[in-house]
Structure 1
Amino acid sequence: MIMSTSAESTINAYNDSCPVVDSDLTVINAVIIDGLGNEPIRGGVRIRDGRIVEVGPDVSGGSTSTGSSGAAGGPVLDAAGGSVLPGLIDAHCHAFATYLTGSAGIPLTYVGIHGSRRLTAALRRGFTTVRDPAGGDPAFARAGREGLFAAPRYLYTGEPLSQTGGHGDPRPPESSACLHTSEVVDGVDAVRTAARERFRQGAHAIKIMTSGGVISPSDPIAVPQYSADEIRAVVDEATRRGSYVIAHSYSAASVRHSVINGVRSIEHGNLIDATTAELMADHDAFLVPTLAAYDAMSRRAAALGLPEVSMIKNAEVLDAGQQAIELARAAGVQVGFGSDLMGDLEDEQLNGLRLQAEVLGLIDTVRCATSTNADLIQRPDLGRIAVDCVGDLLIMEADLTDDPDALWDDRRPRTVVRSGQVVFGS
């Protein structure tokens, strides 16, 4: 299989907030959804030393009782006709988003402790890897990596970069205090230095803001942000590190502006058109939809204090989100999955799968949230039930081919396996 370059491996190893556990496990009597878009098959999965060594109808464990020893050693889990799929990957997860309205003025210790709870909850839902495009730091990642709290693999960018008055600049017009949720930085030399500083701190990738957003008070969603030279400078720094650039971008104009100048990962992209989708495909750019955020905000954000201007912006992008996925898929764009949930809305994470499945169906949505996201984060050994891949699994009591709603209902029983070790469930 294709493995990461040495530079990519260094970055991912620094970010990988999942303790290395050499565990053996055999899962039998399962409906296997492999994450690659293939038709489900009935059979089993065998994991040895944290990696998958056998998949298919011939996998057996001798005895079918949980806790018995399989042929590879370790316990045997009988799925009893339930589905097994790769551990899910959320490519837009905000660990540090303590409140919907922002984290300004909140002590970092509190933010970190709150973030650990958010990551543990994500792992419990079945997300064994997350990419945080607007937070994280080496100490927080280390705590998860050393098992101080139950965490998925955690790939972080640190603070995203925003131009003055851009989506990451939360200052109201009368304020001169710059908040810490993004770094406001302008000019080619300045953004280049900021990118280098992110990598010094172990960033997986660099995030920039190239359009307006829903939460920010003063920037129209449609207006492109950062100059071409500024974007190319950040892309140059990331490319030389074996990494890539993530862009918060909604409008067709801002997406084109980002992609033409080398951005690889487009977050949101709700307002793209067919021509822009084709351009993304031509440049091998990924689209990371975040449907759960808009749906949740439309129902709950007013009660949580989101200002009216943000509610108006949210309505603008809400209905367009699913259409953007259709356009991207028709053009051949690789479509991932993200949640982008902040504050108390985090419990809507699985709902994003339901919304995406309304467009793509179950099997393709699972692929978006597993193997496609794995390719996006430069980890082709994740997100697949295939030999030599990491043994991250989500085992559902239900057969998802008959009952897909079980996947996005967090009340339905599930077992989460990380590197062959059961971390939640039976």
Structure 2
Amino acid sequence: MFDCSAATTAPPDHIGCLCHRPEIRYIAERVKLGFSRRTFMTGVAAMVTGVGLGTTASAQLQSPPPAPARPILFTNIRLFDGTSPTLREGVKVLVEGNRIKSVEDGGAPAEALTIDGAGGVLMPGLIDAHTHLAFSTIPLAVALTADPSYLALRSARAAGDFLMQGFTTARDVGGPVFALKRAIDDGAIVGPRIWPAGAMISQTSGHGDFRTVHDLPREDGDRLHFSERSGAAAIADGVDEVLRRTREQLFQGASQIKVMAGGGVTSDHDPLDSTQYTEAELRAAVEAAAGWNTYVTVHAYTPKAIRLAIAAGVKCIEHGHLADEDSARLMAEKSIWWSLQPFLDDEDAAPFPEGSPQRFSQMQVISGTDTAFELAKKHGVKTAFGTDTLFSERIAARQGAQLAKLIRWHAPAEVLKMATADNAELLALSGPRSPYTGKLGVIEADALADLLLVGGDPLADISLIADRNNLKVIMKDGRIYKNTL
């Protein structure tokens, strides 16, 4: 018999886009989960009851703190406003309700609650532009076999931990997070703001096709695969199917659409060098999204996949680590966003066996990371930061460390700007589909009050961001989730 103990006791780590781990192929080929969006919602109903998952998790599943009854004044701070390369001193930041009321050196209302920052740096809340909150902390084998209520609870736990690492906003680019977002926004649980994409749209044998050979051929009228019924992926072939699947995500509240336009690192059925979808199919998704005044972002690594996606009208490339000079120049010329992740051969790389096809693809991607960041900087491509953490609780707890790795290519002020003001600019591409009204990523009058107070100066030492203990205050939407001062 197949022994899955390795998969259940030693969760696989992460590098880029993980889909089909070898150790779960047997399970995936034989297990047909019967859970649907309805049962996933049932799981979320269990989630919001606050069922405990240990001390830390149960705290994360509690309701958010109440809105302050009085204005809050931050004093004795240095200010990183999200855009300036230097800190401002001698200013006070006043928060009223969920907005920043003023940034000045003057007085404040007598009734204001004062927080003495002890000389720390006040900065905007961090934004992760490439997340999969539904799958960030659970092994893929668990995602394929666990009870939906358990999966929902783990999603809630992941969302709470995400916020407590200082990331107040998530741009989620694939997975069933609509219900999770609603529970957070309703105040049932703690978590970040979420810009959801919904299901990842994939062609047959594309990067979002989680089926096995035993599921083929697919006939008209066949029951959808569990990965589709759960809202993780949507398999669509041809213009008409792409239109329908795109519109289904918009129906549920997608703020942007995610399409798989190229191969992945560990996928069994879509080689890294493959291009996926025709230009007409990609354009169908683009036009459907444009009809709702939002945009399409695509998973793509290679120059060919990047060029095809741009020709179809997409607005953002996720990954793109194998981009060349011409494709980077094209991104700059067309004002395409480049959502990059710091994939390196370090402690955060998945331990694929040497000589395996997965290790070969992994090293191809890693070998392109330096070049990708350098090309983006050279050509002035609008660049976003994201983690793309999948299937590893250990890696999910290292978001700040992932951000700090950008010091390899950027100055600390550039790193923080990318994870605040720049990422917020990418979020704004969703236009009226943006789920929250107000400006993020900056500290200025009338911006949303998502703030961090760091004990120390991250512009001098970016590694401070890697340790959540250095975050003395975490505020989201004007509410204080953490204050250790």
Residues 51-90 of structure 1 mapped to structure 2, 5 A cutoff = 51-56=99-104, 58-59=105-106, 70-71=108-109, 73-90=111-128
| Deviation sequence 1:301-345 (CA, Å, 0-9, x none) | 45xx99943333222112322321221122121111111111222
- Show structure 1 runs of 5+ residues with no match: 1-17, 61-69
Matched, 1:132 2:157: no
The Cα shift of 1:101 comes to 3.1
Structure 1 residues 162 and 190, CA gap change in structure 2 (3 angstroms): same
Moved over 4 A (4+): 18-23, 292-297, 305-308
Partner of 1:409: 467
Structure 1 residues 270 and 53, CA gap change in structure 2 (3 angstroms): same
Partner of 1:108: 148
Q: Structure 2 length as normaliser, TM-score?
A: 0.76
Partner of 2:192: 152
Aligned counterparts of 1:157 and 1:258: Cα–Cα separation in 2:
17
Partner of 1:41: 88
Partner of 1:28: 75
Aligned counterparts of 2:305 and 2:378: Cα–Cα separation in 1:
20
Partner of 2:48: none
| Deviation sequence 1:80-124 (CA, Å, 0-9, x none) | 221111001111111111434362233332222111111111100
| Deviation sequence 1:117-153 (CA, Å, 0-9, x none) | 1111110011111011111343222111112211110
The Cα shift of 1:19 comes to 10
Structure 1 residues 44 and 258, CA gap change in structure 2 (3 angstroms): same
Structure 1 residues 144 and 308, CA gap change in structure 2 (3 angstroms): farther
SS in 2 for 1:360: coil
SS in 2 for 1:382: coil
Matched, 1:356 2:406: yes
Aligned counterparts of 1:393 and 1:188: Cα–Cα separation in 2:
43
SS in 2 for 1:104: helix
The Cα shift of 1:203 comes to 1.0
Rg (Cα) greater in structure: 2
Partner of 2:383: 335
Partner of 1:66: none
| Deviation sequence 1:344-383 (CA, Å, 0-9, x none) | 2211211221121221111111111111111111167100
Percent identical? 30
Structure 1 residues 307 and 101, CA gap change in structure 2 (3 angstroms): farther
Cα contact 1:28–1:59 (8 A) shared by 2: no
Q: Structure 1 length as normaliser, TM-score?
A: 0.87
Partner of 2:248: 197
Residues 200-349 of structure 1 mapped to structure 2, 5 A cutoff = 200-291=251-342, 295=346, 297-298=348-349, 300-302=350-352, 308-343=356-391, 344=393, 345-349=395-399
Aligned counterparts of 1:152 and 1:112: Cα–Cα separation in 2:
16
Aligned-partner residue type, residue 241 of structure 2: A
Structure 1 residues 170 and 395, CA gap change in structure 2 (3 angstroms): same
Aligned-partner residue type, residue 138 of structure 2: Y
- Show structure 2 runs of 5+ residues with no match: 1-63, 217-223, 429-433
SS in 1 for 2:159: helix
Q: Which is further off, 397-406 or 96-105?
A: 96-105
The Cα shift of 1:175 comes to 4.7
The Cα shift of 1:22 comes to 7.1
The Cα shift of 1:21 comes to 4.8
Aligned counterparts of 1:224 and 1:307: Cα–Cα separation in 2:
24
Aligned-partner residue type, residue 356 of structure 1: L
Structure 1 residues 309 and 147, CA gap change in structure 2 (3 angstroms): farther
